[in-house]
Amino acid sequence: MGIPTIKKCCCLELKWGALIAVVVDWIFAGFVVIRCTDFMDYGGGMNIVWYVVAIVHIAHIVCIILVLVSLCVRNKNLVAPYLITAIIRVIIDIIFFIFVCIKLGDHDIPGLIFIIIGLIIAVCLWIVVFSWYKKLGGSADI
């Protein structure tokens, strides 16, 4: 059983679905970078996690721009960095979720819910962009 791919996204051609996916992902990644400043504790261990989360999300935003370029140029090599950073981003967000649960407990329930929703959406968007990668002729070996 392989990684699932789709042929259309929301009744649109996959190219437009990938465009919508990366724009939504851009918004979420930017919001996470802005939102995670609330979790800085100035001198505690949370700062290391915050810096890692911020760096990974900024690198992911750069890769989102590469996917946008691939929509015009149709080059599968521009999509591969997005797929890699998206996987790293999901792993880092899970670690961030655990640290926020440990550090804040139930004091920031909306923040925790946003992280969970962001993780679910990130996986769905990854599948859309992976399908675009496969349509451009990429192999499943990333």
Q: Tens digits of per-residue pLDDT, 30-85? A: 887 777 666 666 556 667 777 888 889 889 999 999 999 998 888 889 999 999 99
Q: b/e per residue, 14-33, with b = 16+ CB within 10 A?
A: beebbbebbebbbebbeebb
The single-letter code of the amino acid at 31 is: F
pTM here is 0.82
What residue segments make up the domains of the chain, in order of their start?
13-135
1 confidence band (pLDDT: 50, 70, 90)? low
Would you give the DSSP letter of residue 76? G
